Amino acid sequence: MHASARTATRRARLQEPEAYDFRRPMTMAREHGRVLEMAFETFARQWGNQLSARLRVSAQVTFDELTLCSYDEYVRALPPTTAMVLCGVEQSRQTAVVQIPVGALMVWVDYLLGGAGKGDEREGRELTEIEMVLVRELLQLALGDLGYAFAGLLPLHVTVRSVQYNPQFVQAVGATDPVLQASFTLRSGQREDHATLMFPADLLLSALLSGEGADSRSADDRRAQAIAQEDLELAVQHVPVDVAVRFTPMSVRPPQVMSLAVGDVLPLNHPSSRPLDVVVDGVVLARAAAGNNGSRLACMVVDVEENL
């Protein structure tokens, strides 16, 4: 193993484990994540094309990652001051959020008005009513492409409602509600910014779950799955299993156990006429009568549990 590989392995082992909150599980199936990532990648390409056409400058939008987290975690990771564009989702009347740095929006406004894209980087600067009209129209065109990107998943119509500038005071959904955060890199001219698009998790994940009944895999994928299932079933049949034959267990108190000595007699609650229990991993599978097979003890199954 190379020195760099050993160093990376050692560093990975030294990482502190992360606590998992079982009261608020945040998990997403890998196949669900991939479907959503493909949709957001399509949306990013369309968004970049919209910006290039409207701003008349080379623009590109790149999808970076998709994260499942709580709304509170999403908000705490945002800059103290940024543009949070609140959007309404027509199908569910829930709220989505497009978060973009104010400086990026100012550059877009400058391009729209025929400028060189200098923008306005003054701290605390907010959009004027005229600037907001221009930004609203530009974002609404981009959000219209969400319907195209998610056409295979669910009908999605999102409209711009308002804009806020302090994320800590924006309560789009409940603080502990799970949300999906899609992160993007925006490039317009020589400028690069980072933006996010937030949706309530149940809005998108419920659509994925409802569509699981239809098998969209190819014939080759289904054939490979069937072969893998058959191999698994064959392998399970050869796994060794410990089988025990026992009397009915009895309960005793700790002092009785601690005081056991050679010659002590423990009366069993197992009737002499009752067969013994055949047990696997603590589960009674059958009943058997004791006997012998040549010089070895043996048992013959006389009853099988019907609730297995």
DSSP assignment of 47-99, as one string?
HHHHHHHHHTS-EEEEEEEEEEEEHHHHHHTS-SS-EEEEEEETTTTEEEEEE
Fold of 239-253+266-308: Surface presentation of antigens (SPOA) (2.30.330)
pLDDT above 80: residue 127: yes
Domain ranges of the chain: 19-213, 239-253+266-308
d(CA 51, CA 45): 10
Averaged pLDDT for residues 99-108: 93
Per residue in 18-76, pLDDT tens? Answer: 665 554 555 777 888 899 999 999 999 999 999 999 999 999 999 999 999 999 999 99
pTM, entire model: 0.61
**pLDDT tens digits along 187-221:** 998 899 999 999 999 888 888 877 655 555 678 87
Q: Is 160 helix (H, G, I), strand (E, B) or coil?
A: strand
Architecture of the domain delimited by 19-213: 3-Layer(aba) Sandwich (3.40)
19-213 shares its CATH topology with 239-253+266-308: no
Query: Closest Cα partner for 40 from 146, 120, 144, 142?
Result: 146
Nearest C-alpha neighbor of 42 from the set 119, 145, 149: 149
